[in-house]
Chains A and B, each alone.
Chain A
């Protein structure tokens, strides 16, 4: 339990350490990150669809 609490504490520490991205959020950086989010979102939907079809077969 103590180890788990320490681990959670460490994660919180990392999150606060890297809370503010240091890269200058120029237009091209913002567009790239937005495109990446959309790309990954679509990929996750495809994977979930595949998972559903596999579950359906079984």
Chain B
């Protein structure tokens, strides 16, 4: 009898924890899966096409990197009840605040343009004209945003996150060799040595894993959802599961292109989808659908990150729990950012290559600052109390942040001066 009652109470306890997780889950999952945006899909497709399964081990290393950086925003948001932009203004003053806010605005807008480029290219494959894609996306965003509840928005966003898993069946459809994946992919190796091309691709993979908007988005999202100190544990689990899923999706993309397009140079994911369609129609179609979904998720989160940040600083009502009448500037800034970015890919001869280059370069000016501020804020014991970084957390996060700063700086500089490292 005792045995059965112990089992019963254990199951009840686990079920309670799962239910609690399902209530709190959201910010971590959404931000991590949205991290696999259109640019990310292109990077992973190019990684698989160029080096087959050989860099899967490197992608797996990015799980703790993404987790350690993002979990800090959960603690900061839950304890301070402030978004990242407001936290920077308040702790470091107006100079660093404006620098971060304006940098965020520029890099978010440019990244949004790249999301629209990805979405229009993906639907072009199915014969949908670019203008119609842009209109459809803005209307869809309107429907998602204007329901006046954070909860509904989050569940719809999670639905799009689920669609991102389309790469899983796509990977099984191409019948990859499990033995090759294990032997080539899981044993650390640098195919062909550390060449400039490989180094650039490794840096691109890191660059797509940690983006400045993610810090601002997750912290604001935690605040808008109303997570408290007692929810931090579940928020961290949410972030950890999200970091595993995002890397798993990246691995499945690498498996798809590594199996069917190994050795082919890929410039963008849409080209990869077209090439895949000629080999395996459904796999190519899945890649295109996934690319559209990735761009859409990225667009939802990136425009929200900017609107939340502006709302925090300008003192506008800035919650998804508010109606348009109550928070007009929050919604106006959201749709203004979205619409202006959506128009760019429709302009004939728009400098899309330069825009992509600028995203990399300007992100490098914001990311180190945002990461340094993050660590400093997490060490402010007066504000953070028992949730401040421990010595171990400081060592781990400082090593990760310094490595990201060095690599992302080299990535940005090599984007500016492509021949510098040759």
Contacts and interface: CB of A to CB of B under 8 A. Distances in A.
Nearest to A15: B94
Interface string A41-58: 001101100100000000
A50 B219 CA distance: 35
Contacts, number: 55
A23 interface: yes
Contact of A36 (B91, B314, B368): B368
Nearest to B92: A21
Interface residues of B, number: 28
A34 to B, nearest CB: 11
B365 A23 contact: no
B90 A22 contact: yes
Nearest to B314: A10
A23 B376 contact: yes
A29 interface: yes
Given A21-B93, A23-B91, A14 B376 contact: no
Interface string A1-45: 000000000100011001111111000110011011001100110
A23 B380 contact: yes
Interface of B: 89-94, 96-97, 99, 313-314, 361, 364-365, 368-369, 372, 375-377, 379-380, 382, 409, 412-413, 416-417
12 contacts: A14-B313, A14-B314, A18-B94, A21-B92, A21-B93, A23-B92, A23-B380, A32-B372, A36-B368, A39-B368, A43-B364, A47-B416
Interface of A: 10, 14-15, 18-24, 28-29, 32-33, 35-36, 39-40, 43-44, 46-47, 50
Given A14-B313, A33-B92, 10 more contacts: A14-B89, A19-B93, A19-B94, A21-B90, A21-B91, A21-B93, A28-B379, A32-B375, A36-B368, A47-B361
